[in-house]
């Protein structure tokens, strides 16, 4: 799934669209997506000058965006709806993400009931896990 297709699912746009490509999607099972982290990212200007590090909250947001695509793809009647964060739990940051890294998100659904989805996400650079989180989201009208 390229960026044009991603924009059909997510309402986010620059500078807050944090998923560049979906490599694999199996509704009900998993999504694998990537974010190419470059020095041109808006947040590196202040986080941190001379030692650029991607803010952890944006890594979690990117995982949530990938999870949103998974949920919206799984629920066919969700077309035209949006998905909102409800909770974020068990977040762990294991290693800084810096310019030149390619973040790979692997998100799996834990539970989907009605308009509520519970997901688990892992973020990797190469084979090394850099972050993880449990997330809950709600499907809603725009």
Active-site positions? 47
Residue among 87, 72, 78 nearest 28 (CA): 72
Name 119's bridge partners. Answer: 109, 135
Report the alpha-carbon distance of residue 60 to residue 58 in Å, rounded. 5
Token digits for 135? 């997330």
Task: Let me know how many helices (H) and strands (E) the chain has, helices first.
Answer: 2, 6
- Alpha-carbon distances of 96 from 6, 10, 24, 55, 93, rounded to whole Å: 26, 26, 25, 9, 8
């Amino acid at each position: 799934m390229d960026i044009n297709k991603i924009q059909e699912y997510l309402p986010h746009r620059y500078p807050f669209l944090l998923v560049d490509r979906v490599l694999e999607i199996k509704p009900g099972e998993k999504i694998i997506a990537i974010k190419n982290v470059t020095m041109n990212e808006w947040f590196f200007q202040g986080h941190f000058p001379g030692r650029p590090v991607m803010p952890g909250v944006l890594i979690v947001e990117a995982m949530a965006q990938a999870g949103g695509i998974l949920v919206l793809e799984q629920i066919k009647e969700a077309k035209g709806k949006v998905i909102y964060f409800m909770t974020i739990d068990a977040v762990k940051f294991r290693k800084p993400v810096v310019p030149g890294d390619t973040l790979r998100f692997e998100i799996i659904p834990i539970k989907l009931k009605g308009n509520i989805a519970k997901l688990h996400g892992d973020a990797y650079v190469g084979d090394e896990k850099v972050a993880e989180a449990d997330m809950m989201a709600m499907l809603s009208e725009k």
